[in-house]
Copies of this chain bind each other. A is one copy, B any other.
Amino acid sequence: MQQIQQLQNSINQYISNKKYGTTPVELYEPIYYIMALGGKRLRPCLLLMACDMFGGDVQQALAPALAIEVFHNFTLMHDDIMDKAPLRRGKPTVHEKWNANVAILSGDVMMVEANKLIMQVDDRILRPVLDVFNDTAVGVCEGQQIDMNFETLTHVTIDEYINMIRLKTAVLVAGALKMGALVGGADDAEASLLYSFGEQLGIAFQLQDDILDVYGDPKKFGKQVGGDIISNKKTYLLIKAMELAKGETLTELNYWISATEFNGIEKVTAVKNIYNQLNIREHAEAEMNRYAEQAILNFEKINLPNERKVILKEFADMLLVRDY
């Protein structure tokens, strides 16, 4: 069995060595560019870990692992156009550095490259792996559209929100784990348990991200603390606060949400104050823990010796105990 760091090194090396097409350059340079921006390589690592856990050959899983990372970056390239995002990991987004047309078409060809990579599995699992891949891809697109729709809705329920993050974030984590399990030789029942584990872990992970946006340590979080509050992003925290706030508290919350001109720090402080009054952090942590516990229950059902499961379990724990 391989340690997390080894797996991360393997995938990073595989990413650096990977060659895509060459001409026309406008189509391929953005792929090299976005793939070199880095990131935690979380999804491909999960795929490799799942393969390794079932005793599979990690070398055989590198191409499908890269497929997941290429697919993920394709969605980022297109999402950045849709969100008009100027920066991605501190660097200009593809549509800013080149233009929107290049980002659309480069993204399209990345999707095809991801399909080519995911096919690099044994014939016996080609169809099941592709089925997971396609279902995952549909889910991610649905999640992105629902997320965009939320921007124009005044009212979103917690259930709707959880479903959105399940689609937009969790199914890709789940799909990566399931595909890794299949490559590693797991049967469908075991692979499906790992899928459920990943789905719930992914939801817990996104809820934690929502919490960190407000309560994270600015030095460790790496993003602007309070960014979600400033942009009125409908996170678990805001939706729950809208649900619980009454009277003056509700009036004040609505005031900040509808304010068009405001001081950012003042807004973050005020809204955070409301969250504190309503115990929003505790609600969010309870919800997150509920999903994390469900995830672990599914993981425990997988019929493998504990020593095989320890690394993925540790990784999941690490994901969910990011410093606040």
Contacts and interface: CB of A to CB of B under 8 A. Distances in A.
Interface residues of A, number: 37
A142 B21 contact: yes
A27 B111 contact: no
Contacts of A100: 100
Nearest to A144: B105
A138 B109 contact: yes
B145 A26 contact: yes
Nearest to A84: B101
A16 interface: no
Contacts of A211: none
Contact of A137 (B78, B112, B134, B149): B112
A36 interface: no
A82 B101 contact: yes
Contacts of A115: 115, 130, 134, 137
Nearest to A27: B145
Instruction: Determine how many copies of this chain the complex contains.
Output: 2
A23 interface: yes
A225 B231 CA distance: 50
Contact of A101 (B113, B130, B148): B148
Given A127-B126, A148-B101, A141 B82 contact: no
A115 to B, nearest CB: 6
Contacts of A142: 21, 23-24, 27, 109
A124 to B, nearest CB: 9
B24 A149 contact: yes
Contact of A141 (B108, B126, B127): B108
Contact of A145 (B24, B127, B130, B138): B24
Given A126-B127, A134-B115, A108 B24 contact: no
Given A78-B108, A104-B104, A109-B138, 5 more contacts: A27-B142, A78-B105, A82-B105, A108-B108, A115-B115
16 contacts: A27-B142, A82-B104, A82-B105, A100-B100, A104-B104, A105-B144, A105-B145, A108-B111, A112-B138, A112-B141, A115-B130, A115-B137, A119-B127, A119-B131, A123-B127, A130-B130
Interface of A: 21, 23-24, 26-27, 78, 81-82, 100-102, 104-105, 107-109, 111-113, 115-116, 119, 123, 126-127, 130-131, 134, 137-138, 141-142, 144-146, 148-149
